[in-house]
Structure 1
C-alpha cells in the first residue's frame, strides 16, 4: 500500500485521533533503522550500530540492525518492541516532518493518513475542541524537532569519520541454524586507524565529543550474536 501523506491542518484534521495500541506495527519489516549519536549508548546495549553508504551520494548514514536480512525485523512483534529501549525514529509515527513545498528548505508537520493508526473514533486527539494543539500533538512535535536537530549532529559525526577515512567495509559472519551467513554492505570504524591517529587528531575528536559515540558503536558490534540468537529462536518457533 502506498503512503498517503498530507500536511497537518487543524481544519482538515480537527477530529483526527491517533490510536497507539500497535504503534510500531508499521516498521515490522524494517531490518535497519537510522539512529542518532545521542542514543548510541542505549541502542548499542541491545543492537549492532553500523554505517551504510549511499552509492549515489557517497554519503554515510548510521543505522541500528534489527534483523540479519532485508524484511526481517527481530525486534518488533505484534506491534510491540521486544527490547528495552525504542529508537527515537520510531516514536512519532504517523506524524512526520516533511519538506514544505511552498517554502524551499523549510519543514512542516505532516500526517501519514494511510496509517491504520489514524482514525476519528479512538486514541489521542491531535486538536482540542477550540482548535488548539493537544498536549499529545505538542509533545510529538517537540520530539520530532529534537530528533531533527540530533540528526543534523549525527550527519556531521558521519561526515567527520568519513573525512578522516576511519570507516571501512566489513563482512560479518554469523551462525544461523548451524550454518554460517555473511552480512555485507556495512561499514565500521577501523580500530587500527583510530589508534594510529595523531595526538592532535584524537584531541580534536575528544573536543568535539565524538569519542564516546565511536566507542559505543564499536562495543555494539558484539550484539550481532544476540541478533543471531533471536533469529535462531524465531526459526525454531516457526518450524
Structure 2
C-alpha cells in the first residue's frame, strides 16, 4: 500500500485521533532505522549501530540494525516493541516532518493518513475542541524538532569520522540455524586507526564529546549475535 501523506491542518484534521495500541506495526518490515548520537549508549545495549554509505552522495549515515536482512524486523512483533529502548525516529509516527512544497528548505508537520493508527474514533486527539493543539500533538512536535536538531549534529559526527578516514567496510558473520551468515554493506570505526591517531587528534575528538559515541558504537557490535538469537527463536516458533 502506498503512503498517503498530507500536511497537518487543524481544519482538515480537527477530528483526527491516533490510536497507539499497535504503535510499531508500521515498522515491521524495517531492518534498519536512523539513529542520533544522543541515543547511542541506550541503543547500543540492545542493537548493533553501524554506518552505511550512500553511493551517489558518498555520505555516511548511521543506523541501528533491527534485523539481519532486508524486510526483517526482529524488534517488532504484532505491532509491539520487543526491546527496552525504542529508537527516537520511531516515536512519533504517523506524525512526521516533511519538506514544505511552498517554501524551499523549510519543513512542516505532516500526517501519514494511510496508517491504520489514524482514525476519528479512538486514541489521542490531535486538536482540542477549540482548535488548539492537544498536549499529545505538542509533545510529538517538540520530539520531532529535537530529533531533527540532533540529526544535524549526528551528520556532523559522521562527517568527522569520514574525513578522518576512520570508517571502513566490514563484513559481520553470525550463526543462524547452525550455519554462518555474512552481513555486508556496512561500515564500522576501525579500532586500529582510532588507536593510531595522534594525542592531539584524540584530544580534539574528546573535547568535541565524540569519544563516548564512538565507543558506544564499537561496543554495540556485540549485539549482532543477540539479533541472531532472536532470529533463531523466530524460526523455532514457526517450525
Q: Determine if the TM-score, normalized by the shorter chain, exceeds 0.5.
A: yes
Residue ranges of structure 1 left out of the alignment (5+ in a row): none
1:187 paired to 2:187: yes
1:209 paired to 2:209: yes
Indicate the SS of the match to 2:159.
helix
Match of 1:150 in 2: 150
Deviation readout 1:193-216 (Å, 9 max, x if unpaired): 000001111111011110000000
Deviation readout 1:71-120 (Å, 9 max, x if unpaired): 11100001111010011000000000001111111100000011100000
Match of 1:95 in 2: 95
- CA–CA separation in structure 2 for the residues paired with 1:22 and 1:173: 33
Residue 56 of structure 1: CA displacement? 0.6
Match of 2:200 in 1: 200
What pairs with 1:105-144 in structure 2 (closer than 5 Å)? 105-144=105-144
1:73 paired to 2:95: no
- CA–CA separation in structure 1 for the residues paired with 2:237 and 2:122: 34
Residue 13 of structure 1: CA displacement? 0.4
Indicate the SS of the match to 2:205.
helix
Match of 2:20 in 1: 20
Q: How many residues align?
A: 239
Deviation readout 1:12-58 (Å, 9 max, x if unpaired): 00000000000100000101111100000000000000000000110
- CA–CA separation in structure 1 for the residues paired with 2:156 and 2:220: 20
Q: RMSD of the alignment, in Å?
A: 0.5
- CA–CA separation in structure 1 for the residues paired with 2:236 and 2:22: 25
- CA–CA separation in structure 2 for the residues paired with 1:119 and 1:153: 35
1:44 paired to 2:44: yes
- CA–CA separation in structure 1 for the residues paired with 2:23 and 2:192: 42
1:55 paired to 2:48: no
Residue ranges of structure 2 left out of the alignment (5+ in a row): none
Q: Normalising by the residue count of structure 1, what TM-score does the alignment of the two structures yield?
A: 0.99
Residue 129 of structure 1: CA displacement? 0.5
Q: Normalising by the residue count of structure 2, what TM-score does the alignment of the two structures yield?
A: 0.99
- CA–CA separation in structure 2 for the residues paired with 1:142 and 1:7: 17
